[in-house]
Amino acid sequence: MQEERGNNVPVLLHHGFGPIYDENSDILILGSFPSVKSREQNFYYGHPQNRFWKVIAAVKRTDVPVTVQEKAEFLHRNHIALYDVVESCVIIGSSDASIRDVTVTDLRPILACGNIGNKIFTNGGKAYDLYMKYTYPALGISATRLPSTSPANAAFSLEKLIEQWTDIINSVF
């Protein structure tokens, strides 16, 4: 990963850490690209205000994992694969709106390993748009858009996110 030069300067970055999945993965949740905080932690949804871990724990009716190890174990235990649509891009800070010069993630190894089939979800609109633009044409598998857990998605309260995620994910099973 290239050194970041500040939050307002476009920088070419590589993802920096791999997907979480195994042969028992039943669903795949895709973000767009890791935030600055996630890149610092080398793990997904590292910003303390991002509600991903609270939402997914509520969907699965379990305690919220705290450490990176607990989060990885949670994903494996609940048969959830997690990655991002973008492997590298030019981005300013954590701004999804600034993403350009995209290199897409090759999802085929993840899909070949588990039982995911067509149970692919995106965390938010930007991940969905990127998936449909770059990945759908190559794979032919559509994704289901979930409301973003980002703190920038102020239109959704935590309770509303939990309700929507639960309804959407459960409708696929």
pLDDT score recorded for residue 7: 61
Pick the CATH number of 11-172 from 3.40.190.10, 3.40.470.10, 3.40.50.300, 3.30.1330.20: 3.40.470.10
Task: Give CA separation, 33 vs 24, 38, 129, 153, in Å.
Answer: 24, 9, 13, 16
pLDDT score recorded for residue 97: 86
Q: What is the pTM of this model?
A: 0.92
Task: Output helix, strand, coil percentages for the chain, rounded to the nearest 5.
Answer: 35, 20, 45
pLDDT score recorded for residue 102: 95
pLDDT score recorded for residue 4: 43
Q: pLDDT tens for the chain, 173 residues: list them.
A: 343 445 677 889 999 899 999 999 999 999 999 999 999 999 999 999 999 999 999 999 999 999 999 999 999 999 999 999 999 999 998 888 889 999 999 999 999 998 999 999 999 999 999 999 999 999 999 999 999 999 889 899 999 999 999 999 988 76
Q: Give the span between the Cα atoms of 146 and 162, in whole angstroms.
A: 10
Q: Give the span between the Cα atoms of 66 and 16, in whole angstroms.
A: 21
pLDDT score recorded for residue 60: 95
pLDDT score recorded for residue 41: 92
